[in-house]
Amino acid sequence: VEDLIHFSHIDINDQQLEVSEKPPIVVSNPPYGERLQSEQGLAALYTNLGNYLRKVQDGRLYLISSSPDLYHRLRLKRIFKKAVKNGPLDCVIAGFEFNTGQAVESSKPVRVSETVDQSTQPLINRLKKNSKHIQRWAKRNNVSCFRVYDADLPEFAFALDVYRSDVTPDLCWYHLQEYQAPKTIDAEIAEQRIELAKQAVLQTFDIDESVLYCKTRQRQRGKKQYQKQDHQGELFQVREGDAALLINLTDYLDSGLFLDHRSTRDRVKNMAAGKSLLNLFCYTGSVGVQAMLGGADTVVNVDMSANYLKWAQENHDINDFKAGDRLAFIRADIVELLQHPERFDIDRQFDIIFLDPPSFSNSSKMQESLDIQRDHEVLITDAMKLLNRRGVLIFSTNRRGFKLSDSLSANMIIKDISHDTLPEDFKRRPQIHKCWEIRHRA
């Protein structure tokens, strides 16, 4: 085979694939970032590889990497993936098709039995009814990620979100989140119900199991909040208005994009032109991205988690916003930052502050635990010190039964905007979040 093998030292952008009757196969073992290349360089490498392959004839790419969270950078159709070990490193082998104009994971369709369990028929009917209404609304309002079901029927207690791919709009992912059954419900019965729910979703939307992701939602406290549930690390790119955003449907309980705050993010975007934003508990940075797209002068994103800050930076990066004079990312205990902003080089006030803390946290990175019902008055009061006299602080919480302290109104003008920030697809669950605009009294 000596005549069939050729070695070249060449930049990928200068490489020419020979056109032939058979589609080319590209095999790649790119740098992992463990020792050969910086993380920032890796992101650019994956982007360049994807850009290059989309210019050539139809073909396939087979790639092994320890950074599957960068696969979205290729913007190619993935046809399979498999977890493997490369020495001591956890890796993923994945196959992609390029220049095909399609993007659904290849797998044999998993068809639900033609005979539907009679008990699931009400659920199927409800899913069809909800989907018809929500999809019409979504199309009219250019919404591509939405909730179609939220425990509408008590015996089927789960939420179902639909995320449309930004890379290939024909592909949708379905995120089924089961609400933990009460102790009064037998565990075996609960398991049977959720299995029936999965089958109902597969049949109603005529989808393969490969695009249905299932998790169990339960009360999370302290260190368990936002912890990884899995370690696949793959990010999918979706769209919200003008923003490209990344979601992860395997590793965490939440996807990385709180759909119930879609209208809130749009509100921030619409008021951001020429203004500065302090985005506290920024999570994956979607509020910051929308503010930048709205023409914000400055955005400072703050979170305690290194993983979420990395995710937030990636969200900004894919929208062509780089860290610099206008955009900053700070890893900090927000409680400490608000009490001592000078320790984090914050020596200014902001026009807009977005404050959406967790209901409870006792992370080891914090000096003290945080209970939003107990601590919100101090948290808001400290945050207002960093707000310009004519600025606005948007405070939100998902804490059930939360009550805003009456004493805050003595020095602040408070407007409840919970109803205004509740999207159409969450009106079946109006208590999912509470939200206020808070301003200084003159």
What value does the mean pLDDT of the chain take? Answer: 87
Burial of 120 (0-12, 13-18, 19+ CB in 10 A): buried
The identity of residue 345, as a single letter, is D
The answer to whether the CB of 319 falls within 8 A of the CB of 289 is: yes
Same fold, 118-218 and 245-440: no
**Distance, CA of 172 to CA of 354 (rounded, Å):** 30
Domain ranges for the chain, please list them: 2-98, 118-218, 245-440
More confident residue, 4 or 372: 372
The answer to whether the CB of 173 falls within 8 A of the CB of 256 is: no
Alpha helices (H) in 390-431, listed in sequence order: none
pLDDT higher than 90, residue 283: yes
pLDDT digits (tens, 9 = 90+) for 211-252: 999 998 654 444 444 445 455 568 999 999 999 999 999 988
More confident residue, 405 or 98: 405
What average pLDDT does the segment 167-195 reach? 88
The identity of residue 371, as a single letter, is D
Fold of 245-440: Rossmann fold (3.40.50)
Phi, psi (rounded to 5 degrees) for 149: -155, 140
Residues forming a β-bridge with 370: 361
Q: Yes or no: is domain 118-218 CATH 3.30.750.80?
A: yes
Q: What is the CATH number of domain 2-98?
A: 3.40.50.150
Residue-level pLDDT at 367:
66
Q: Is 44 helix (H, G, I), strand (E, B) or coil?
A: helix
With 0.85 as the threshold, say if the pTM is over it: no
What average pLDDT does the segment 293-314 reach? 98
The answer to whether the CB of 66 falls within 8 A of the CB of 57 is: no
Token pair recorded at residue 171: 């592909």
**Distance, CA of 264 to CA of 301 (rounded, Å):** 16
- Which residues are CB-contacts of 211 (< 8 A; sequence separation ≥ 6)? 104, 105, 171, 172, 173, 174
Residues forming a β-bridge with 440: 412
The answer to whether the CB of 247 falls within 8 A of the CB of 239 is: no
